[in-house]
Amino acid sequence: MIRWEELLRNDLAKGVALGVGVAVLVPVLVSALAPVVKPMARTALKAGLRSYERAREVVDEAGEMMEDLVAETQAEMRAERVAAAQAQTEQEAQAAEADSVDAAVNEHPGEGAVRH
């Protein structure tokens, strides 16, 4: 027959006793603490949901700001391209005008000279 002293020294027996004790005490503790823990859990859950909603609003606002910034930058880039194209067109027109003046002077060399 097993003696109590040997059981108290045996790790397996200690583990089984601890498991049975926990299995009996946990439901008792849960039912005793439920009136206190449930409102605390509900309050924590509300706080978490409020934080989530606020974070979502902040992220949405940041996204809108980023979209606005991208749109403004694209508009500036379009304006720069239009200005550059206009400048190039003006330069080409000036170059074409200069070429036509040079061609006219070369065709009629005496008319371009100044007479006194």
Contact 7, 13 (CB under 8 A): yes
- pLDDT score of 96: 83
pLDDT digits (tens, 9 = 90+) for 12-65: 777 888 888 889 888 888 888 888 888 988 999 999 999 999 999 999 999 999
Q: Where are the domains of the chain?
A: 4-102
Backbone angles phi, psi at 19, to 5 degrees: -60, -45
How much is the pTM? 0.46
The mean pLDDT value for 61-83 works out to 97
C-alpha span between 7 and 94 (Å, rounded): 109
- pLDDT score of 109: 60
- Smallest CA-to-CA distance from 55 within 45, 47, 43, 67 is with 47
When pLDDT is cut at 50, 70 and 90, the band that residue 10 belongs to is: confident
- Smallest CA-to-CA distance from 43 within 51, 54, 55 is with 51
When pLDDT is cut at 50, 70 and 90, the band that residue 111 belongs to is: low
**How does DSSP assign 30-79, residue by residue?**
HHHHHHHHHHHHHHHHHHHHHHHHHHHHHHHHHHHHHHHHHHHHHHHHHH
pLDDT over threshold 80, residue 116: no
- pLDDT score of 88: 93
- How many other C-beta atoms lie within 10 A of the C-beta of residue 61? 10
